[in-house]
A and B are shown apart, each in its own frame.
Chain A
Amino acid sequence: MIYSLLVLSSPISGHGSRNAAEFAQCVIARGHSLHRVFFLDTGTLASAANCVFPQDEADPLRTWVALAEQHAVELVICVSSALKHGMLDQVEAARHERPGPTANPIFTVSGLGQLVDACANSDRLITFGG
């Protein structure tokens, strides 16, 4: 079965974002296909490259990076939400004359069309947060 995920929760408030990452791992472990993870609204903060967590707390970014590196999971942050939350890739940072990128490069910045595409091409679309 083909899954896609929509993440609306902030990674630093509640557990929606963490649940999404763990669900993604389970989808893959069970042999399903994970088409895309789309981050919208405060969910885009999952891409924050400069967050610093205390040693006794899990760094949520690490789980997403592992998913992308080990299983080639496509991680997409919504451009309009990302800009409002200060999550810029190299291109957006240059375009808006900001000092540098703030989003981890494992995430792709793109539009809501990627969410529409994920719905059209997945058997299941699971929303986390909201």
Chain B
Amino acid sequence: MAANGKKSMLIVLRHSPYGSSLAKAGLDTVLATAAFSQPVDLLLLGDGVLQLQPDQDGHRIGQKNVGRQLSSLPLYDINHVYVDAEAVTRYNVDISRAPVDTRMLDKEELHQLMAGYDHLLGF
């Protein structure tokens, strides 16, 4: 439970940005939650780290740019974006050029993070 009595929420994005519409659905949920002033943090797990690839061009496949949507998170006061360090290494994502600032977590830290929320929503 967050300090103000509201339920804390971690949204976990586990899918690649353009392979399905789940990435978009997850990000829309993040933004809606923040818009209603509910505490929400974000975790990119497994294939989800591909959403952090720099220089995305969704336009060429007729889709909105997921990277651009991620870059807007600080405007909604979403300041905690966590990322699965092992997956970043596996996919060789250049996290220094990612669209949003993130904090890398190892497996042990991921377990601790996920245990600390009232709700986990997986996309």
Contact = CB atoms under 8 A, between A and B. Distances in A.
B6 interface: yes
Contacts of A119: 7, 9, 33, 38, 118-119, 121
Given A115-B32, A119-B7, A125 B119 contact: yes
Q: Is the interface of B mostly helix, strand, loop or mixed?
A: mixed
13 contacts: A81-B21, A81-B25, A112-B32, A112-B33, A113-B32, A115-B32, A116-B32, A116-B33, A119-B7, A119-B38, A119-B118, A125-B121, A130-B15
Question: Interface residues of B toward A: which range?
Answer: 20 to 34
B6 A120 contact: yes
Nearest to A6: B121
A127 interface: yes
B109 to A, nearest CB: 22
Contact of B38 (A81, A111, A116, A127): A116
A88 interface: no
B21 A42 contact: yes
A111 B7 contact: no
A41 interface: yes
B15 to A, nearest CB: 7
Contacts of B38: 116, 119-120
Contacts of A117: 36
The 8 residue pairs across chains A and B that have the minimum distance between CB atoms: A112-B32, A41-B25, A116-B36, A125-B119, A130-B123, A130-B122, A116-B33, A119-B119
B22 A130 contact: yes
Contacts, number: 49
Given A115-B32, A119-B9, 17 more contacts: A6-B121, A8-B123, A41-B22, A41-B25, A81-B25, A112-B32, A112-B33, A113-B36, A116-B32, A116-B33, A119-B33, A119-B118, A120-B6, A120-B7, A120-B38, A127-B121, A130-B123
Interface in B72-123: 118-123
B65 interface: no
